[in-house]
Chain A
């Protein structure tokens, strides 16, 4: 098809009364065709397989993090319980002051400790 004919075909194809299917077929015959490269489908399936693996890996790493968190949390709770028991055994009672190590200190000595005066 000559370029001038092609231009006319393009403009006519945009007429609201023209048959779009017919125009599209004629354009394809004239050489206007768009295709993806060879192996397009294989690339998509490969990407899907890779993204699937990524999701699995992400789920596994989140699961590992959760396990680590539970272990740390349990160890922490156990340490706090042991500390409380030891304080109770040494002091004979349990209070916030003794828990913070302030049981025997007075306000003045604490002020001296912090300011040096």
Chain B
């Protein structure tokens, strides 16, 4: 268990302690940002055990790249960038794999389980959003996940994805069109 004192520490202090080899401090960073990473990774890849592995990879990569973190951006932005990059890499990897080894193509790329919910209505909601996201083009999916699941503004999304604001806005508008078509069919 993480000590109470770590919860009071700022991100900068936790990064410094982690760099000094304090694993508990890094554990607190994981606790603080695992929800955010889960929304990005599971939102884009589907809620499966494979997404858990990618989530773990995000934090492992973060740990080894902490010496490069200069603190110019917020730690959350830095983690979000790692999450998006690893998730997009995984989507590309799956695309390559399924186009080579499967005749069913993309349909089986995103098998996912819906976690238990206290009501059937909530479970249906989760399932609907999951299916809608998985049917979106990945380049739109990332924009939608950032906005719809994380609550990021277009400016924040542009910063995380290293894209011009105009590109994010145009993709958002095209994503909305695609989403309307998808939701009609679901």
Contacts and interface: CB of A to CB of B under 8 A. Distances in A.
Contact of A11 (B42, B150, B180): B180
Contact of A48 (B26, B38, B42): B26
A45 B176 contact: no
Nearest to B28: A41
Interface string A12-26: 011110001111110
Interface string A39-63: 0110111011101000000000000
B68 interface: no
Nearest to B114: A31
B147 interface: yes
Interface residues of A, number: 34
Contact of B129 (A10, A21, A36): A10
B73 interface: no
Nearest to B53: A43
B121 A34 contact: no
The secondary-structure label for the interface of chain A is helix
A40 B30 contact: yes
Q: What size tier do the contact residues of chain B reach?
A: 35 or more
A40 B122 contact: no
Closest 9 CB pairs of A and B: A31-B122, A24-B151, A21-B151, A14-B176, A34-B42, A31-B125, A34-B38, A41-B30, A30-B125
24 contacts: A7-B128, A7-B186, A10-B179, A11-B180, A14-B148, A15-B176, A16-B154, A20-B150, A20-B153, A24-B148, A24-B151, A27-B125, A27-B129, A31-B122, A31-B124, A32-B129, A34-B38, A34-B41, A35-B38, A40-B56, A41-B34, A45-B23, A45-B30, A48-B63
